[in-house]
Amino acid sequence: MAIQSSSCIRNLVQSLRSSSFLSKIADYRGYTSQAASSLRVASQQSAYSDDEYADVDWDKLGFGLTPADYMYIMRCSKDENFKGGRLSRYGNIELSPSAGVLNYGQASSQNSIQGLYEGTKANRTKDGRILLFRPEQNATRMRHGAERMCMPSPSIEQFVDGVKETVFANKRWIPPPGKGSLYVRPLLLGSGPILGLAPAPEYTFLIYASPVRNYFKEGTAPLNLYIDEEFVRASPGGTGGVKAITNYAPVLKAIAKAKNRGFSDVLYLDAVNKKYLEEVSSCNIFIVKGNLISTPATNGTILEGVTRKSIIEIARDHGYQVTI
């Protein structure tokens, strides 16, 4: 079954992407980081001038990995707090073969490895400012996920500061206005070695970045979604409501099947009744009819998306009736 995206949702998303609206988003209890001077970082980390761009063909940029210069790392032991984060050149990290993230997971009804990730973006404006899109919301979501996975997590301030440092150190990788964004990927991993089934003894918080453009090759054009009645993304009591890294690998087979049939992605149904819409492989979904916008409730199997929350707030502000 093909489902195409609505023009009004596309307009709302476009408004989210505009620099003027990124500034206005603070009115929606959001968080906007502006201007290089407001980023509390050490600019000497970069040997490049503020107006210098990386050697990238911005017109051919897609959603693929193009590692920026620096990544951010912070560690802590179990039952302790994170501290002492630092920037280093992007590169491989060392893990024990018995690292908790590579071996075990904790969940009540499905396996989920001790690993979480987030995704946010930095954009460049025409007047030279750098804008972050509500990173404190990602920080809050990571803390919620860490509690579910029996992991310590950075404070909201530590998370946001780490994102700021990573963005500013990689400023030359932020595409020109209208050419894309710097995608910022925070990770929280159970990196300490452990043999038995238990929380890892050490944890690593890591942030890296890559310039990107649209996630889907269709760009802002309508997507064709395949409703899968065989595979489910998450089940009640599991970890579908947190951004655990193992929520994503199980959907790869369903995505491959859908793409082989000419679809853009998969729209999953609930695991119990197989008839209620839940979400797409990598994003939430909205159903639009006239002035009414509906989206599935986040009841433990659906991720509370930052963009989802923003669209709901903005849509209501624009006079739409939103039901959840």
Residues taking part in catalysis: 243
Q: How far is CA 313 from CA 52, 83, 132, 319, in A?
A: 36, 34, 18, 10
Residues near 307 by beta carbon (within 8 Å), at least 6 away in sequence: 13, 16, 283, 284
Residues near 19 by beta carbon (within 8 Å), at least 6 away in sequence: 123, 125, 126, 129, 131, 177
The CA distance from 160 to 199, in Å, is 25
Place of tokens 């408004």: 15
Q: How many helices (H) and strands (E) does the chain have?
A: 7, 14
Q: How far is CA 43 from CA 124, 160, 171, 209, in A?
A: 17, 17, 10, 17
Q: Which tokens in the block code for residue 36?
A: 């290089």
Residues near 190 by beta carbon (within 8 Å), at least 6 away in sequence: 99, 100, 101, 113, 114, 115, 151, 199, 200, 202, 203
* Ranges of H-type helices in 149-297: 156-169, 252-260
Place of tokens 């491959």: 256
